[in-house]
Amino acid sequence: MQPLSGILAAVAASCLLLLLALPVGALIGGSGARGLSLLVTDHELRSALLLTIGTATSATFLAAVGGTPLAWLLARKSFRGRALLAALLDLPLVLPHPVAGIALLLVFGRNSAVGQVLLQMGLRIVGSPLGIVCAMLFVSAPLFVSAARESISQVPVRLEYAARTLGDSPWQTWWRVTLPLSARGLLAAGVITWARAVSEFGAIVVLAYNPKVASVLSYERFTSYGLPEALPVAAALALLSLVPLIALRALRSHNTPLT
Q: Is the pLDDT of residue 46 over 60?
A: yes
pTM summary value = 0.86
Helix (H) or strand (E) holding 253: helix 227-253
**pLDDT, tens only, 99-135:** 999 999 999 988 899 989 998 998 999 999 999 999 9
Q: Is residue 124 part of a domain?
A: yes
Distance CA 49, CA 239 (A): 11
- The mean pLDDT value for 129-147 works out to 95
Distance CA 235, CA 240 (A): 9
Q: Is residue 12 part of a domain?
A: no
Q: Is residue 1 part of a domain?
A: no
The number of beta carbons lying within 10 Å of the beta carbon of residue 128 is 15
Q: Is the pLDDT of residue 259 over 50?
A: no
Q: Is residue 2 part of a domain?
A: no
Distance CA 78, CA 93 (A): 23
CATH number of the domain bearing residue 79: 1.10.3720.10
Q: Is residue 4 part of a domain?
A: no
pLDDT value at position 1? 47
pLDDT value at position 254? 60
Q: Exposure of 235 by Cβ count < 10 A (0-12 exposed, 13-18 middle, 19+ buried)?
A: buried
Q: Which segments of 121-178 does DSSP mark as H helices, in order?
A: 129-153, 157-165, 170-173
Considering only residues 63 and 259, tell me which one the structure prediction assigns the higher pLDDT.
63
- The mean pLDDT value for 159-183 works out to 90
Q: Is residue 25 part of a domain?
A: no
Amino acid identity, position 52: T
**pLDDT, tens only, 146-165:** 999 999 999 999 999 898 89
How far, CA to CA in Å, does 127 sit from each of 46, 79, 134, 155, 196?
19, 40, 11, 42, 20
Q: Which segments of 77-96 does DSSP mark as H helices, in order?
A: 82-94
Residues constituting the chain: 259
Task: Return the ∠ at Cα 117 (arms to 112 and 120), rounded to 5°.
Answer: 125
The string of DSSP letters for 228-248 reads: HHHHHHHHHHHHHHHHHHHHH
How far, CA to CA in Å, does 62 sit from each of 66, 67, 138?
6, 8, 11
Distance CA 186, CA 36 (A): 31
Q: Is the pLDDT of residue 35 over 90?
A: no
Q: Is the pLDDT of residue 89 over 70?
A: yes
Mean pLDDT (the chain) is 86
- The mean pLDDT value for 174-179 works out to 91
pLDDT value at position 130? 95
Query: How many independent structural domains does the chain possess?
Result: 1
Considering only residues 148 and 257, tell me which one the structure prediction assigns the higher pLDDT.
148
Torsion angle (degrees, nearest 10) of CA 135, 136, 142, 147:
180
- Percentage of the chain exceeding pLDDT 90: 49
Highest mean pLDDT among 60-64, 87-91, 248-252: 60-64
Distance CA 68, CA 233 (A): 34
Q: Is residue 93 part of a domain?
A: yes
**pLDDT, tens only, 217-236:** 989 989 998 888 888 888 88
Q: Cβ distance 36 to 170 under 8 Å?
A: no
Distance CA 249, CA 191 (A): 10
Strand, coil or helix: 151: helix
Q: Is residue 11 part of a domain?
A: no
Q: Which domain holds residue 211?
A: 31-253
Q: Is the pLDDT of residue 85 over 60?
A: yes
